[in-house]
């Protein structure tokens, strides 16, 4: 394909609105916050929920510390060259991205450098229609507190036999890309994904160089973040989001942290709750959460690995006082609802990244749980997304 042109390129970004990312780029930040807050208010006030003022992000640009981009092809003479960027809105055409104002600068430098490296090394790009080719996605993570960067190459096949030769050109290129930034390369790993699927990671990790994790600090707690473990992507706003959740956890309570990822909320509330149990289905996240609790000397926190829906029926009758729910965008499933409604849990602190499913779930909880208030939080400036912390009390 040839590079699609943005129909109305904006002075703030040459890829707007084609890339579909920064829906609010043409608005002031005040207007964006007002619209996001109104959206949450329109959805939740009909159910008697008080909606507080939105918490704006301390930073509107360069905030994204995780980058996940597909490789594509761009016509060049008689052949094709690798390109890298997001999908153009409503298609699987890859925009040849040259800039992204919401991405951390060091990550942007590395991303474009790896595209050029792949082009120089003539590494074939995966074609989802034929299943041929090799490079599928580039995944980058940066730890805000340490500057450490993890590079993940998602490839359609095993590690190349000549990967050491490839490293001889890749490492200096990355080093050059990071000059003048606060980023430093901590590791390069390959994820093998040979399936014909839209799921980005295949799950089999192969080392290329360095570590398969980066060290990140949130408040007083440190974590080892890997390619596949969930970690909030806006480090400037995450502590504020977690503070709002913590404010709603009663002192001395026994708390569940459901959908806990690497246990970041569990640790954050551990000095206020008497006991915390985190629930998470990704075994690597649970491993990382247990390691973090140990490394940070937090003794009143434990983690269980499995589906929340499977674990909740038993936990619902074990005398927990409060549950923090931080589900994926689709919200809470029916079985988890049934357990919550039958439980004796007094308080629900619902951290939602999708106001529509939050509104649906508020309606389903309504007979048993009274919504006290909801606080929109802008975790994703310039995009259409908004996070909300909603607090419920058993009637
Ligand atoms: C939005 S993230 C929240 C993670 C964490 N609270 C944080 O702030 O970093 C949702 C997490 O729920 C996990 N998850 C999704 N569905 C699940 C399920 N049915 N049971 C348990 N965990 C699940 C995902 O693996 C992911 O780590």
Catalytic site residue from 19, 33, 86, 353: 353
Tokens describing residue 258: 């459901």
pLDDT of residue 21: 84
pLDDT of residue 128: 87
Return the ligand 1 atom nearest residue 231 CA: 9
Quick one: how far is CA 49 from the chain centroid? 27
pLDDT of residue 1: 43
What does each of the 395 residues of the chain score in pLDDT, given as a tens digit? 444 555 566 778 888 888 888 889 889 999 999 999 999 999 999 999 999 999 999 999 999 999 999 999 888 787 788 899 888 888 888 888 888 999 999 999 999 999 999 999 999 999 988 999 999 999 999 999 999 999 999 999 999 999 999 999 999 999 999 999 999 999 999 999 999 998 999 999 999 999 999 999 999 999 999 999 999 999 999 999 999 999 999 999 999 999 999 999 999 999 999 999 999 999 999 999 999 999 999 999 999 999 999 999 999 999 999 999 999 999 999 999 999 999 999 999 999 999 999 999 999 999 999 999 999 999 999 999 999 999 999 99
pLDDT of residue 5: 53
List, in order, residues 6 or more apart from 23 with CB less than 8 Å away. Answer: 17, 382, 383, 384
285 lines ligand 1 (CB under 6 A): yes
CATH 2.40.50.1070 in the chain, residues? Answer: 66-218
328 lines ligand 1 (CB under 6 A): yes
Is 19 one of the annotated active-site residues of the chain? no
Note whether 226 and 201 are within 8 A (CB). no
Give 249-288 as a DSSP string.
SPTT-EEEEES-TTTHHHHHTTTTSSEEEEEES-HHHHHH
User: What's 2's DSSP letter?
Assistant: P
Q: Which CATH class is domain 29-59+234-394?
A: alpha beta
123 closest CA partner among 157, 171, 78, 95: 157
Return the ligand 1 atom nearest residue 336 CA: 19
280 lines ligand 1 (CB under 6 A): yes
**Residue ranges in the chain assigned as alpha helix (H):** 29-44, 105-120, 163-178, 238-247, 264-268, 283-295, 308-315, 334-342, 355-365
pLDDT of residue 98: 84
Radius of gyration of the chain, Cα coordinates, nearest whole angstrom: 22
Q: What is the pTM of this model?
A: 0.94
Distance of CA 11 from the midpoint of ligand 1 (Å)? 37
In terms of DSSP bridges, do strands 254-258 and 275-280 run parallel, antiparallel, or are they unpaired?
parallel
CATH 3.40.50.150 in the chain, residues? Answer: 29-59+234-394
Distance of CA 387 from the midpoint of ligand 1 (Å)? 15
Given ligand 1 and candidates 261, 312, 385, which is best to mutate, with the most ligand atoms within 8 Å of its CB? 261
Fold of 66-218: OB fold (Dihydrolipoamide Acetyltransferase, E2P) (2.40.50)
Return the ligand 1 atom nearest residue 257 CA: 6
Tokens describing residue 201: 């990671």
287 closest CA partner among 213, 190, 204: 213
Angle CA(95)–CA(101)–CA(104) in degrees, nearest 5? 105
């Amino acid at each position: 394909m040839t590079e699609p042109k943005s129909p109305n390129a904006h002075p703030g970004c040459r890829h707007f609105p084609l890339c579909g990312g920064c829906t609010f780029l043409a608005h002031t930040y005040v207007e964006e916050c007002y619209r996001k807050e109104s959206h949450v208010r329109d959805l939740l006030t009909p159910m008697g929920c008080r909606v507080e003022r939105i918490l704006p992000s301390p930073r509107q640009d360069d905030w994204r510390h995780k980058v996940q981009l597909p490789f594509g092809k761009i016509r060049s003479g008689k052949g094709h060259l690798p390109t890298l960027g997001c999908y153009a809105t409503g298609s699987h055409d890859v925009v040849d991205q040259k800039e992204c104002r919401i991405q951390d600068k060091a990550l942007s430098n590395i991303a474009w450098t790896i595209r050029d490296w792949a082009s120089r090394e003539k590494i074939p790009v995966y074609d989802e229609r034929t299943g041929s080719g090799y490079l599928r996605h580039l995944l980058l993570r940066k730890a805000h507190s340490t500057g450490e960067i993890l590079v993940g190459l998602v490839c359609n096949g095993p590690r190349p036999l000549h990967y050491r030769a490839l490293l001889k050109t890749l490492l200096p290129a990355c080093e050059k890309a990071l000059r003048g930034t606060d980023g430093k390369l901590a590791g390069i790993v390959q994820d093998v994904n040979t399936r014909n699927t839209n799921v980005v990671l295949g799950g089999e990790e192969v080392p290329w160089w360095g570590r398969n994790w980066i060290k990140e600090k949130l408040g007083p707690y440190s974590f080892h973040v890997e390619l596949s473990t969930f970690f909030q992507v806006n480090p400037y706003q995450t502590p504020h989001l977690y503070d709002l959740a913590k404010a709603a956890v009663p002192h001395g309570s026994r708390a569940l942290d459901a959908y806990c990822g690497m246990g970041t909320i569990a640790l954050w509330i551990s000095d206020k709750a008497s006991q915390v149990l985190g629930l998470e289905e990704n075994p690597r996240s649970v491993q990382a959460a247990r390691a973090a609790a140990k490394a940070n000397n937090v003794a009143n926190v434990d983690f269980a690995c499995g589906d929340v829906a499977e674990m909740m029926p038993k936990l619902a009758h074990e005398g927990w006082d409060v549950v923090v729910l931080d589900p994926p965008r689709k919200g809470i499933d029916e079985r988890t609802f049934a357990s919550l409604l039958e439980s004796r849990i007094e308080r629900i602190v619902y951290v939602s990244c999708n106001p529509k499913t939050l509104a649906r779930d508020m309606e389903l909880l309504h007979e048993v749980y009274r919504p006290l208030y909801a606080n929109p939080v802008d975790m994703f400036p310039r995009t259409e997304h908004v996070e909300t912390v909603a607090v419920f009390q058993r009637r």
